[in-house]
A = this chain, B = another copy of it.
Amino acid sequence: MTISMYQASIPVFLRALDNLAAIMDVGAAHAEAKKIDPLVLTGTRMYPDMFPMSRQVQIACDMVKGGAARLAGIEPPPRGDTEKTFAELKERIEWTAAFVRSVTAEQVDGSEDRAIVLKTPFGDLNFTGQQYLLGFVLPNLYFHSATAYNLLRHSGVELGKRDFLGRA
């Protein structure tokens, strides 16, 4: 037996988004309790030339938006990157989850050998659907989610790994 491309992508994406949304709530509550400007937390960076927390969340969202769309063979719905507050970031996550949920198993299953081309400033990246999911979308999703988590944790927000993994 085997696992389907749908099972390996859509429910996994939704769980990661749910966890990220809950982490935004913890960050917002921390800012309020400690009387910290929330924009300090959403704007914090690991190093001056790295993206701020808000952008880490936006990229995590775009990874699963692009992943769901490309595996389904449809265009990712466009959206700008304007979110600054925890509430705006949470709305971005929920908007992304609504799109991911709209993709069906019929669209995604069978995509493991589909040719996927990602246009990047550094040239085209060519994948099969399976390579794209396992070698690009999932590591990027978790990289940016973990970086958002680490930035809040580094700022004193009380989070535990269970917030990152979710409760099974």
Q: A7 to B133, alpha carbons, bound, how many Å?
A: 12
Interchain CA distance A164-B168 in the complex, whole Å: 27
Q: How far, in Å, is A160 (CB) from chain B's closest CB?
A: 10
Pair A1/B150 contact, Cβ less than 8 Å: no
Give the number of copies in the complex: 2
Q: Report chain B residues within 8 Å CB of A5.
A: 2-3
A8-B8, A47-B156, A153-B46 known; A130+B165 contact, CB < 8 A:
no
Q: What's the dominant secondary structure at chain A's contact region?
A: helix
Q: How far is the CB of A163 from chain B (nearest CB, A)?
A: 11
Contacts A1-B109, A1-B110, A142-B142 supplied; 19 other A-B pairs, CB < 8 Å: A2-B2, A2-B3, A3-B4, A3-B5, A7-B134, A8-B8, A12-B134, A12-B135, A15-B135, A46-B150, A46-B153, A47-B154, A50-B153, A125-B168, A127-B168, A135-B168, A136-B165, A140-B161, A143-B164
